[in-house]
Amino acid sequence: MNKLAPSILAADFFRLGEQIKEVENAGAEYLHIDVMDGSFVPSISFGLPLITSIRKNTKLIFDVHLMVTEPERFVDQFVDAGADIITVHAEACTHLNRTLMHLKERGIKTGVALNPATSPECLRYLYNYIDMILVMSVNPGFGGQEFIPETIKKLNDVRELVKMSGRDIDIEVDGGITLENVKSIVDAGANVIVSGSSVFKNDIASNVREFEKILHA
């Protein structure tokens, strides 16, 4: 089942609550929440208080993407703030297995994100602990960047690896996704689609509906 995960990084923070309601009412399934620490990535976004505050007002699945060095220091607080899925970067964790096991113990879904230069091979011995693989289609840190075309080949590879693992693992893609390229991304193997700037511009509800139409065609 394909799902849309609008990234609030591209929202108008003055009207954040309103805009979250708009994507929810238009049929989005997830809310993608980009946490940046200014160390793992060259930008700082927002953190725990924002998540706690929006959690009270929406039933959307909170898909929290931690672009944070050594995220194990914070994962418990993100679980407590209301995350449903926590994705950590393979490149940011010294003890990735331990971090994933800990998240499993906390009873939430786990994701591992891979930067464009990182091979999915590093996940070979971790499939039992992973619910979602997040394939970055831009270098993380900013919204509104161009989709990196080599991601299509990587998605094909990840789809094969997931098939071989025999596990039911979602494949999420993040960065530069538009109404024009989303079909080719789904055809390549992705089933969770993050989109920031293509959702939070002009008519937000209509953007969500157009994405949903393609995702559920």
The minimum distance between CB 36 and ligand DX5, in angstroms, equals 7
Q: Which residues bind ligand DX5 (CB under 6 A)?
A: 7, 9-10, 32, 34, 65, 138, 140-145, 174-177, 194-198
Cβ nearer to ligand DX5, comparing 99 with 151: 151
Which is it for the CA torsion 156, 199, 13, 76, positive or negative?
A: negative
Distance CA 142, CA 217 (A): 30
Distance CA 3, CA 21 (A): 17
Distance CA 100, CA 109 (A): 9
Q: Which residue minimizes CB distance to ligand DX5?
A: 196
For the question of residue 131 being annotated catalytic, the response is: no
Q: Which of 5, 31, 62, 65 binds Zn ion (CB under 5 A)?
A: 65
Distance CA 116, CA 133 (A): 13
The upper half-sphere exposure of residue 122, i.e. CA atoms within 13 Å in the direction of its Cβ, equals 18
Cβ nearer to ligand DX5, comparing 186 with 194: 194
For the question of residue 174 being annotated catalytic, the response is: yes
Contact 75, 103 (CB under 8 A): yes
Cβ nearer to ligand DX5, comparing 127 with 142: 142
**Which of ligand DX5, Zn ion, none is residue 175 near (CB under 5 to 8 Å by kind)?**
ligand DX5
Distant-in-sequence, close-in-space partners of 144: CB < 8 Å, separation ≥ 6: 10, 196, 197
Q: Which of 174, 177, 182, 192 binds Zn ion (CB under 5 A)?
A: 174
Distance CA 216, CA 105 (A): 33
Cβ nearer to Zn ion, comparing 26 with 85: 85
Catalytic residue chosen out of the listed positions 12, 34, 170, 187: 34
**Which of ligand DX5, Zn ion, none is residue 115 near (CB under 5 to 8 Å by kind)?**
none
Catalytic residue chosen out of the listed positions 131, 174, 187, 203: 174
The minimum distance between CB 4 and Zn ion, in angstroms, equals 13
Q: Which of 216, 217, 206 is nearest to 25 (CA)?
A: 206
Residues labelled as active-site residues: 34, 174
Write out the residues near Zn ion by the rule CB under 5 A: 34, 65, 174
